[in-house]
Amino acid sequence: MPAKTKKQATDAVLRQHAEQQFAHELEELAKADTRQRPPNWKLSPWAVATYLLGGTLENGFEVSPKYIGNRRLMEIAIATLTTDRALLLYGVPGTAKSWVSEHLAAAITGDSTLLIQGTAGTSEEAIRYGWNYAQLLAKGPSPAAVVPSPLMNAMELGKIARVEELTRIPAEVQDTLITVLSEKALPIPELGTEVQGNQGFNVIATANNRDKGVNDLSSALKRRFNTVILPVPGTAAEEVNIVQQRVASLGKALDLPPEAPALEEIRRVVTIFRELRNGATEDGKTKLKSPSSTLSPAEAISVVNSGVALAVHFGDGALQASDMMAGLVGAVVKDPVQDQVVWKEYLETVVKEREGWKDLYRASREVL
């Protein structure tokens, strides 16, 4: 693993893993945590929940919230990982499935990097193990020639393996997971041995139901998972809060000047997204068509974030309607024909008429 052998200045990496970025919080939590920890867990379930949802420790230390939303869902997710069932985070795109999966792994085992990215091309070897062919040809099958998958590593280390986009993996390859999840063992028939999962081993998978080309889980596999559905934010205030927090911390990571991202603009983006998603204006008076795009919090975050970058580098530093418009159109209009019609109609019937939104309407004329 070159990244580990060559010591890298972690300050310079573009995106730190959760356990690096929040190392200080994890350390403080471990110190304050007197509750019982499941075998091989770095924190108790209570402390993991505090890490995810934020809170103040007895010594006054503030833990920042990572997931904003229903506390119970996170408790169910964490409790699942203490049992022999694996966890499936399910929902529409951009609802923090990968985000939560990374933070859970970081808090529970201190390592969120044992990751298998599911694609249509994911093979059984990517899930089980592969071979180092030079070794294999020179010496035949031997333990030294086995190239373990992240799943196999997680089993040996008693850690959590993450499988991203499980439903993109071809159904017959997905089923490789069944033995691992029910027997907690991974056979290596070529060597006549197996790797047994150590205490602490479990799997967190994520999947969304919207993308094209998804393969349903077989019922045998489904039974090995507890499913937690991550919803889109229930209220506008919650959604504004999510966007605001993430924009602030992304801005810090990208070294954008600490110009406070204008709350008003975030409110407007969130309002537009929610109205289009729900197919009606917030006062319920006007019915709207919904575009084909999902318009998740993740997209709202990136609209505001690109707006901030424009404002900082090409504007006066304060986020304006015109800075957000390009990103907004890009997020809403995914299908150039249908979505364009939906967006135009929204501009004419809602944006143009709404008090205080004239600047937004004008900005939209520049982009179209």
CB of 233 to ligand ATP, least distance (A): 6
- CB of 212 or CB of 285, closer to ligand ATP: 212
Residues that bind ligand ATP (CB under 6 A): 67-69, 93-99, 206, 208, 233, 242, 246, 297-298, 301
What does 292-315 look like in DSSP terms, one character per residue?
A: SS---HHHHHHHHHHHHHHHHHHS
Helix, strand, coil distribution of the chain in percent, nearest 5: 50, 10, 40
CB of 206 to Mg ion, least distance (A): 5
Q: Which two tokens stand for residue 228?
A: 């937690």
Which one of Mg ion, ligand ATP, none is in contact with 129 (Cβ closer than 5 to 8 A by kind)? none
Which one of ligand ATP, Mg ion, none is in contact with 45 (Cβ closer than 5 to 8 A by kind)? none
Q: Which two tokens stand for residue 158?
A: 């008693």
Which one of Mg ion, ligand ATP, none is in contact with 308 (Cβ closer than 5 to 8 A by kind)? none
- CB of 128 or CB of 246, closer to ligand ATP: 246
Helix residue ranges per DSSP H, the chain: 2-5, 18-21, 23-32, 45-53, 71-81, 97-109, 124-127, 133-139, 150-157, 171-174, 176-183, 219-222, 236-253, 263-278, 297-314, 321-332, 338-346, 358-367
CB of 246 to ligand ATP, least distance (A): 5
d(CA 175, CA 261): 46
Q: Is 243 within 8 Å of 304 (Cβ atoms)?
A: yes
CB of 95 to ligand ATP, least distance (A): 4
Pairing of β 55-56 and β 62-63? antiparallel
Q: Is 294 in the site for Mg ion (CB under 5 A)?
A: no
CA dihedral 272, 276, 278, 279 (to 10 degrees): 130
- CB of 226 or CB of 349, closer to ligand ATP: 226
- CB of 98 or CB of 364, closer to ligand ATP: 98
Choices 61-69, 77-85, 93-101, 292-300; region in contact with Mg ion by CB under 5 A = 93-101
CB of 99 to ligand ATP, least distance (A): 3
CB of 256 to ligand ATP, least distance (A): 16
Q: Which two tokens stand for residue 127?
A: 């899930």
Q: Is 101 in the site for Mg ion (CB under 5 A)?
A: no
Q: Which residues contact residue 259 at a Cβ distance below 8 angstroms, ignoring those fewer than 6 apart?
A: 251, 308, 311, 312, 317, 318, 319
Q: Is 98 in the site for Mg ion (CB under 5 A)?
A: yes
Q: Is 241 in the site for Mg ion (CB under 5 A)?
A: no
CB of 105 to ligand ATP, least distance (A): 13
- Can you give the binding site for Mg ion, defined by CB under 5 A? 97-98
